[in-house]
Chain A
Amino acid sequence: MNVRLASTLLLTASLGLAGCSKKAPEELPPPPAPTTTEAPAPAPYTPAGPTVGSQAHFENAVNGQNVIYFDTDRYNIDSADAAALQAQAQYLARYPQVNITIEGHCDERGTREYNLALGERRANAAKNYLTGLGVDASRIRTVSYGKERPVALGSDEGSWAQNRRAVSIVIS
């Protein structure tokens, strides 16, 4: 835990990123699933923490900024999104063997088919920003889930803000 925290702080500092996102949702998304619930391994030579190229390693490295958020019916990359995508681009530059899928999502307040197209547009906006930062386009796959996979389950502005998102997932 200490090692994880330390490396997170280090990376944040080294990337020089401001901590707060201008357009954070009113309620923060729930913490990522406990992917690090590994049994306490007493083996002395095993390094603690997630392995390079795992989703947990990626999320730690980008300080949880593997998700970017959008305004209603929009797909533009604002400054908070740009900072998150810069962190992702640095990770991808450091680990050239890692490829990602960007999932585009929408809130429930849209018609199904339009939301599929809008999610695809959001995922592509994130992809285009990353390729603009030098990431090879062949390393980034996009998929739209429209409104089919919400993370926040309420029918209110706070939930919808969390669901209008593009999520970067390491391809394992």
Chain B
Amino acid sequence: MTLPSRRVRRIPLNAAAVVTVVVCLFPVYWMVSTAFKPSRDIQSAEPRLVPYTWTLDHFRRAVQADGFELFWRNSILVTLGAVLLSLVVALGASFAVARLRWRGRRQFMLLVFVAQMAPWESPIIPVYIISRDTDMLDRLPTLTLVYFMITLPFTIVVLRGFLATIPPELEEAAQVDGCTRTGAFVKVALPLLAPGLMATSLFGFITAWNEFAYANFLIIKQQDNRTLPVWLSSFQNTFGTDWGATMAASTLFALPALVIFLLLQRHVTSGFAAGAVKG
């Protein structure tokens, strides 16, 4: 097999790769480029793939829109709160599942799997009623708790998977050296678990950052407590015909997720690779 013919044979493959990349990126690109285009170019009959002139007007308009900063902050607070809470709770639970032997372990995992699959949009009315009766309506901690619940099951499952890739012998060795069981876990396993924790928090972050239905229904009177997805979905009302501003706000909304994902991507793959190697 000669070199040129191999190159020719790779053409369809590379073409497919290009198509994949374009299809994946085009909506993201279109969002960002619309956000930077002047309105006159956005509403022209001749669409431009690359903005002719660049403008920050739309971003200015989005940021200056009523409460944008506030909603951004709310979203961040709620999301981080939920992710941290579920990480801590899940760490304990997954330690128990992966490292300890106890009666009901299998049943517990079954519960977790069921919880992970539960259609958590359906009990929205009961959740509304319960929060009302406990005076938790209109408050961000309520959303934090709901998102905690949404992210907890898969956090447990994922963390347990990571934990299982760390050989218990390492901890046992540390215990022989005089560490306590917990001490051994904190000193030896936890650092090894860091990529796993990051990967897990990533998924939690995306889920909570995105959540719409509860945020839309549980925050009623205190509109200052709304979160970004709810605000974004009512965008056409806020910005009217200004699709540039809509796209600018979408960009700003997507930004944290994109950044965190790209930053942590390495850890996701490395954590995964570690797991695969040790399998």
* A, B assembled together: no
List chain A positions with a Cβ less than 8 A from chain B: none
